[in-house]
Amino acid sequence: MRHVRRAGACGKAALFASLLVFTAFLLPASRAEAMNIQVVKSPGGITAWLVEEHSVPLIGMRFAFEGGSAQDPAGKDGVAHFLAGMLDEGAGDLDGKTFQERMEEIAMRMSFDDARDAFYGSLETLSENRDAAVALLALALSKPRFDADAVERVRGQLLAGLAYAARDPDRVATDQWNALAFSGHPYGRPTQGTQATIQKMTREDLREYWARTFAKDNLRVVVVGDIDAAALSGVLDTLFGQLPAKAQLTPVVPVQPAAAEKFKVIEMAVPQSVARFGLPAFPRSDKDFIPAFVVNTVLGGGVMSSRLWEEVREKRGLAYSVHTNIQPYDQTCVFSGGVATKNEEIANSLDLIRAEIKRIAAEGPTEKELRDAKDYLTGSFALRFDSNAKIANQLLWFWQEGLDPGYVDRRNAEIEAVTLTDAKRAAKRLFEGRDLIVTVVGRPKGLAANPQPRG
C-alpha cells in the first residue's frame, strides 16, 4: 500500500493541476533510447541519476533505501509498512497538522512505500517551490516525530486495511504462497504485518527501524525534470546529508522457493477461487535470465497474446484471468503466476497450466512465438518512459537490479539477441521436472487437499 498525503481544499487545485501535467507529459517514443542519463555526485558523496527535462517546470524524485520489510525484526512484522504511513505525520518542530498544511501551501507531494527489499520515497514539486519542498522532505527523513496521536491514527488505518485484506482472496493467496515457499525466511513474513503485530507496534519500534535503515550507503536516488546537475548536487546534500553514513542492516540470506507441502487450500466463502503458483527462477546475473524473460512472455507474461491466455481463457473459457511473471528480488528470483475462476473450474485450469508448462519445457516456443514475444517486449519498452514519473521509477528499478545507465540503450538489443536455442534451453532449465508450489483461496471443487479454514 502506498501512503500519500493529499492536499486539502485550499491547495488541492494547484496540486492536482501540477500533478496532472507531471504525469501526462508524454515524451516521444524515441526518447527511451536517447535519454541523457547523468550520474551526479554531491560534495557530501551522495550519488543520483538525473534526466534533465526543462520544458515543464516540474521536478520528480524517486529514492530507495535498501532494506524494506526483509528488515522487519522477528515478531514485529509490518514495521516498515507502519513507518511508511508515519513520515508525513510531523517532523522537527512541525506537528502533523502544521506539516500537512505546509505541504498544501507549496503544492508539493511526497509519498512513501515499502517493499520486500527496499523502502521507497518520492517527491514531486513545482520548480519554483523546489527549495521549500526539499526542506520539508529533508525534515521528514531526518527528524520524524512519531507523535503518539499520529501513531494511533495510522495504527487504526493499518488495522482496517488488514481486516479488509483478510477478505481479499488475491491478497490471501499471495501471502499464503510466500509463507509456504519461504517458510522461516524474511520473504515469507507478511509485509503489512498482522493484527497482533500492528496492535503491539510502538513508536520506539518505528524509530529503531528508521535509525537502522535510513543512511547514505544504502540509498539510491533518481531525479527527472526541471533541474540541472549543479543544482541537484546541492539538493542531494540538503535532503540526505544529515543521515548516518552507514545503515545497520541485518543480513538476509539467499533463498530458493521451496515447500514440503506444495499445495494448500485456504477456504473462503467466495464465488470464485483464486490460485497463486510459482517456482524458482534465475537471478539477473544468470545468462538465461533474459531468455527466460522472453519465454515467460510466450507462456503467460504477454497476457492476451500468451499461451495460457489463449488455452485457458479464449479456447476453453475456464478462467477470467491468467498471467505469469518473473520477479527478481535481492536474494532470490521467482517465476510466479495466478489464475482466477469459478470454484468448479479451478482444478481444470490448474491442470491446463501445468500441461502448458510441461509442454514449453519439452518443446520450447516456436519461431513465431519467439518473434512475437520479442516484438512485443521491444515495442512496448518505450511505454515505460512516456512520462517523467515512469522514467524515474524505471531507472530506479534498473539501478536496484545492479544495472548501469547504459542498460536503457542495451536492453532491446539483449532481447533481440535471444535465439530459439537460447529460449528452449531456458525453458527446459526453468520448468523441466519441477512441481509448482500452489495456494488456492476459495471453495474449489475437485481438488485433493486439506483445506485450512479461514473465518
Q: Assign 46 a pLDDT band (cuts: 50, 70, 90).
A: very high
Grid cell locating 181: 515457499
pLDDT at 26 over 60: no
pLDDT at 432 over 80: yes
Q: What is the pLDDT of residue 305?
A: 84
CA distance 69 to 191: 6
**272-288 exposure pattern, b = at least 16 Cβ within 10 A, e = fewer:** bbbbbbbbbbbbeeeeb
Mean pLDDT on 323-352 = 96
Residues 6+ apart with CB under 8 A from 338: 170, 173, 174, 274, 275, 276, 277, 321, 322, 323
Q: Which helix (H) or strand (E) holds 14?
A: helix 9-24
Delimit the domains of the chain by residue range: 3-240, 263-442
Kindly report the CA angle at 304 between 336 and 394, in degrees rounded to 5? 60
Q: What is the pLDDT of residue 33?
A: 52
Mean pLDDT on 232-256 = 97
Q: What is the pLDDT of residue 18?
A: 46
Mean pLDDT on 242-256 = 97
Q: Cβ–Cβ contacts within 10 Å for residue 17, how many?
A: 12
Q: What is the pLDDT of residue 365?
A: 98
Whose cell is 520448468? That residue is 431
Number of H helices, E strands in the chain: 16, 14
> For the structural domain made of 263-442, what CATH number should be given?
3.30.830.10
Phi, psi of 281 (to 5 degrees): -125, -175
CA distance 281 to 183: 18
CATH topology of domain 3-240: Cytochrome Bc1 Complex; Chain A, domain 1 (3.30.830)
From residue 66, how far is each of 114, 130, 164, 218, 251 by CA, in Å?
10, 26, 29, 5, 11
CA distance 298 to 259: 27
Q: Cβ–Cβ contacts within 10 Å for residue 19, how many?
A: 17
Q: What is the pLDDT of residue 37?
A: 97
Mean pLDDT on 260-277 = 95
pLDDT at 97 over 90: yes
Query: Coil, helix or strand for 414?
Result: helix
Average pLDDT taken over every residue of the chain: 92
Percent of the chain with pLDDT over 70: 91
418 and 377 in contact (C-beta within 8 Å)?
Answer: no
Q: What is the pLDDT of residue 13?
A: 39
Q: What is the pLDDT of residue 272?
A: 94
Q: What is the pLDDT of residue 32?
A: 53
336 and 324 in contact (C-beta within 8 Å)?
Answer: yes
Q: What does 35-86 look like in DSSP terms, one character per residue?
A: ---EEEE-TTS-EEEEEE--SSSEEEEEEEEE-GGGGSPTT-TTHHHHHHTT
Q: Assign 260 a pLDDT band (cuts: 50, 70, 90).
A: confident
Whose cell is 519498452? That residue is 381
pTM over 0.85: yes
CA distance 349 to 351: 5
Q: What is the pLDDT of residue 34?
A: 67
Q: What is the pLDDT of residue 31?
A: 52
In CATH terms, are 3-240 and 263-442 the same topology? yes
Q: What is the pLDDT of residue 303?
A: 72
pLDDT at 451 over 50: no
Phi, psi of 38 (to 5 degrees): -90, 140
pLDDT per residue as tens digits for the range 202-224: 999 999 999 999 999 999 999 99
Q: What does 151-208 look like in DSSP terms, one character per residue?
A: HHHHHHHHHHHHHHHTT-HHHHHHHHHHHHHTTTSGGGS-TT--HHHHHH--HHHHHH
